[in-house]
Structure formats: structure tokens, C-alpha cells
Amino acid sequence: MVILRQSSALTKPTSVKLENNAYTGVVLPIHPDEEESEELIDAIKTMVYDASAYLYTATKKRAYFEEVIILVPDTWEDKPEYRSPKNATFEGADIIVAPRNPRFAPEPELPPVPHTKHYEGCGGQSIHVHFTSHFMLDSKTELFYGNRGRVFVHEWGHYRWGLFNEYADEIADVDNAQNFYFSLDEEIWKPTRCSDGFVAYNLVFGNGRYRYCNGDQYIGYEDGCVSIPDSSQPDVTASIMSGYTSIPEVRVLQ
């Protein structure tokens, strides 16, 4: 992990390389509007270390993160361990830690949802991944989203490989989000997800609590119904892009 100090150098796109199974040249700047925080830097380091191990497992030992460059704002206090950024800039970032985008923070009391700015189709690389300091530092983050390193790898799938979510994304893709679909083969309504092996509960949230949804697999379910997997089940596998990164057995890229 290399920590550099941002400067006003000319913008040059970051060059991420994958050589001998190792990703290098990944640039992760902290936005100048973020308050100076050693805790934030430590949280980023932990996330990247966890992500590297998770990616190594998910890709069957084909990839890990060897070099991630953290850029700190030039308004932060200089420290002996900081180095010159050379050509690395905020504008050429692969991942950023920046103030929240209201679209991805519908509930202010909860950590904002990480997201990847993406304009290409399937397989096309994205613009960057956006985390917030709230997400990095809030104690509730892993309760709602699972391990930060696992979330990092999920977003890396969007960013580097142009993968799409394998679930109904009611924040980033609200126009196309469908929590259930009708299976023509089985003639039943099924949750939108990659694996059928989950033990899950079909619930709707209202009046401050969850309740079981009205309807069933034969006639469909009421609006607002979502399928929530039991996070304690040990013998189920699914793609990381399914979004269930809090389940230990979800550890493959498919």
C-alpha cells in the first residue's frame, strides 16, 4: 500500500495492469472535502487487504491487489511516509472516497451505498468506484453490507470487467428493478437472483418492521416484497455479483 500526496499535476488516466496475477497501479484518492483522518486511511487499508484475499479466492488464485495507491489531499498535514504523486491524480482515479451522492444515500442515517459510475455495456470498463467516508467508518456498515473488502470486489466486478448486478437494484436501476419474475419453465414466481439454493424469506417492510408478504409463488407477491436470504446457512454458493456478500459461502465470480 502506497500513500501519496495529491498535487495540481496535469491529469493522466490511471494505468491499471494485471501482470503475473497481480493488479498494480490502482489509484484511490480521497476527495479534498473529506476531513483529515488517520482512521479513514487505516479503514481503506483494511478494506483493500481484505479485498485482495477475497479476490484471490474468487478468481481461483488468478488475481490479487499488489499495489493500490492512496492519494491524500494536499490540504492535509504532510507526513514523512507520504510520497510524491507523480502522474497520479484525482481525475484519473479508479476508486474514490468522496462525499455522498444523494441518489445512493436514500436514508441519511445509514451508510451510503457504494456505486460504480458506468456508461458502457456488459464487459466495458467503468469510470470509477465511489465509496464515502461514512461507509468506510460507520460501525453499521458491515451489518448492512457485509465485509467492506467483499463489497470492494463486488464493485471491482462492475468497474474492471463491466459485470452487472444479479439482483433487482432499486437504487441504481430503479426503472428495471424487479424483485420477482415468472418462470415459464416452472410456472411459478421466483426471486430475481443467481442461485436457487438459498433459504430465504419473502418480506415487506412497513410501519417500522418486516412482515411476510401477501401472495405466493403461484399468484405472485405484493408490491414492495423482497426475498431476503438467511445469512447463517452454510452450504450454499452464489456469485459475488448476486449482492449477498454478507453470506460466507458467497465467494465466486460467475
Catalytic (active-site) positions: 155
Amino acid residing at 170:
E
Q: Which of 37, 234, 47 is nearest to 146 (CA)?
A: 47
β-bridge partners, 102? none
Half-sphere exposure of 186 (CA within 13 A, CB side): 11
For 70, the 3-state DSSP assignment is strand
A 10 A CB-CB count for 51 gives: 24
Please check whether residue 27 is in contact with residue 14, taking contact to mean a CB–CB distance below 8 angstroms: yes
Quickly list H helices, 88-203. 133-137, 141-145, 148-161
Sign (positive or negative) of CA dihedral 129, 132, 136, 138: negative
Measure the CA–CA gap between 125 and 26, rounded to whole angstroms.
14
Grid cell digits, residue 24 = 498494480
Q: φ and ψ at 221, to 5 degrees?
A: -125, 160
